[in-house]
Structure 1
Amino acid sequence: MIQSIYRLFIELTNGKITSGLIRKFARSKASRMFIPSFSKAYQINQDEMEQKLEEFPTLHDFFTRRLKEGARMPDIDPDSIISPVDAVIEDIGIIEPGHIITVKGKDYSIREMLGKDEKIEKYTDGCYMIFYLSPSHYHRIHSPVTGRVIDQWTLGSKSYPVNKHGLKYGKNTLSKNYRTITEVEHKTGLLSIVKVGAMFVNSIEVIHEGDQLVKGTEMAYFSFGSTVVLLFEKNSIQPLTSLKTPFDIKVGEKIGYLTRKKEDLKG
């Protein structure tokens, strides 16, 4: 019953017109008056912001705020993988045979999430990590590894909530929501960075230029809260055993290590 009511409410309020109005308001000058109360409600750390609170012209600009230089520093170990976002790591696990990941008791299809059949076999038995960004988080996405972008594509139209209730009661939110996928080749394998839009707001702006990514540099940003899913090729990484979900993390903090390829170990 709860699931049915939840889904009905979201379907009624998540139409194209409703989403458009909210997006339009967040980018309007009128939204500026809500910035101080929003900052207070979500206990935003103003000391680390690049701009002062009164300098943001719209609520959207505040959502997508940058931080002062040095506020987030990537781990310097060349073999480390870092968190791409300030977030809560909601789940870590293995991509099961049949291309399934299980989150909050629900199965999600990697086939649906990626939308390209030729991609999915690479990730079977690999590792996945799910990062949830609440409205209080810094919303810019940084590259978790150094590597080369080999593909990038966008799927979906509507976006449902991606918080714990959305993952539990929603309708395949991670594999149905509007999402932009960036596939990266790094020195030990492949990584798909799945950027999932949140309720009402489908704004995922990719800002990196060219096909080279450097660990810790900006690659995209969200408007409002959202989720990032990292899908790693089998035997390409080793997650930190200290990551016990749910786990609060910030951009640049270590989440695992790249593992050496078999041919490297023989040399």
Structure 2
Amino acid sequence: MKKILYQSFIELTNKPFTSKLIERFSCSPFSRKFIRSYAKIYNVKQEEMSKKLSEYGTLHELFTRKLKDQARPFSLQKEVIISPVDGEIEQYGTLTNKTEMIVKEKPYSVKELVGNEYELQKYIGGTYFILYLSPSDYHRIHSPADANIIKTWTLGNKSYPVNQLGLKYGKAPLVKNYRKLTELAYNEHRFLLVKVGAMFVNSITMTHDEKSINKGDEIAYFSFGSTVILLFEKDSFVTDESIQKGQKVKVGQTLGRFQS
């Protein structure tokens, strides 16, 4: 019963009224009673957390938890790109001239994802990653590389589910949902970090507002579960040979590297 409740809480809710109710509940002291069962059902890795389970006052605090220092080691080689989140590689590949990503046998328009033709042109022929965060995952987002932040913009006003059923049967949630896009640059290479929301609330909170960011530094967090999409320019990125579709990855794990 509790698992059904939590799935509605995190994964399936896409109505403004119920989303607001869930937000209020998760931030309320009353939600603390559910922390232990939530952690058990979703197998939250308590040994990684920066605080003990008993120290969290609300479900929202647990969901947006921080980790211990050094819990997510990563390569210090400048050209290596790391995963910005804990999650599952839902899909990855090359963005073709059709400018579509195929997810669960459904095409998604990348033009609609990024918002305009000019932004899209940079990434045709390049590599994309779709990383899905489940309710059990750590929900803070980190920079994949040392980079300068070029710009950030916001698109979308929908709130369709972004779990696997939502991707397969929903109304194109990756390109219609509320999302924040951040364009970054490493030397001459541009890449795009897209944070896709999943609720009718401001579920994406930016935590970094400077002009540059170091690899591994936190850039934002999700208040509710969602998806991150990475886009790289053509001939700028080589995917690591170990990467596979459906693979679970953690922040800091190598996804590939920039080409010289």
| Alpha-carbon offset, residue 187 of structure 1 | 2.0
1:219-262 alpha-carbon deviations (Å, 9 max, x no partner):
000012110000111111101122111001110010101111xx
Amino acid at match of 2:183: E
Do residues 232 (structure 1) and 220 (structure 2) align? no
**SS in structure 2 at match of 1:123:** coil
Q: List gaps (5 residues or longer) in structure 1.
A: 1-11, 261-267
| Secondary structure, counterpart of 1:54 in structure 2 | helix
Scaled by the length of structure 1, what TM-score is found?
0.90
Check conservation: 1:15, 1:158, Cα contact below 8 A. no
TM normalised by structure 2 equals 0.92
Letter aligned with residue 186 of structure 2: H
Amino acid at match of 2:207: I
Residues 1-267 of structure 1 aligned to structure 2 (within 5 Å): 14-199=14-199, 201-260=201-260
Larger Rg: 1
Given that residues 36 and 53 in structure 1 are in contact (C-alpha distance below 8 angstroms), is that contact kept between their aligned partners in structure 2? yes
Q: Percent identity?
A: 50
Q: Deviations over 1:203-227 (max 9, x none)?
A: 1001012110111110000012110
Please give the per-residue CA displacement for 1:96-120, whole angstroms capped at 9, x wherever unaligned: 1132111111111111111122201
Q: What CA distance in whole angstroms lies between the structure 1 residues aligned with 2:62 and 2:49?
A: 10
- Aligned match of 2:4: none
Contact 1:179/1:195 (8 A) holds in 2: yes
For structure 2, the residue ranges without an aligned partner over 5 or more in a row are 1-11
The alignment yields a C-alpha RMSD, in angstroms, of: 1.4
Write the distance in 2 (CA, Å) between the matches of 1:200 and 1:16.
Answer: 5
Distance 1:142 1:103 in 2: 24
Secondary structure of residue in 2 paired with 1:37: helix
Q: CA deviation at 1:93?
A: 0.7
Residues 1:13 and 1:242: Cα distance change in structure 2 (over 3 Å): closer
Kept in 1, the 8 Å contact 2:14–2:198? The answer is no
> Partner amino acid for 2:26?
A
**Aligned residues, how many?**
249
User: In structure 2, how many angstroms separate the alpha carbons of the residues matched to 1:255 and 1:15?
Assistant: 35
User: Residue 188 of structure 1 contacts residue 236 of structure 1 at CA under 8 Å; is this kept in 2?
Assistant: no
- Cα–Cα, structure 1 residues 26 and 122, in superposed 2: closer, same or farther, change >3 Å? same
The amino acid across from 2:92 in the alignment is I
Q: Secondary structure at the match of 1:36?
A: helix
AA at the equivalent of 2:21: L
Deviation at 1:86, TM superposition (A): 0.7
Structure 1: how far apart are the matches of 2:49 and 2:132?
21
Once residues 36 and 118 of structure 2 are traced to their aligned partners in structure 1, the CA distance between those partners, rounded to angstroms, is 47
Secondary structure, counterpart of 2:122 in structure 1: helix
CA separation of 1:13 and 1:63: change in aligned 2, threshold 3 A: closer
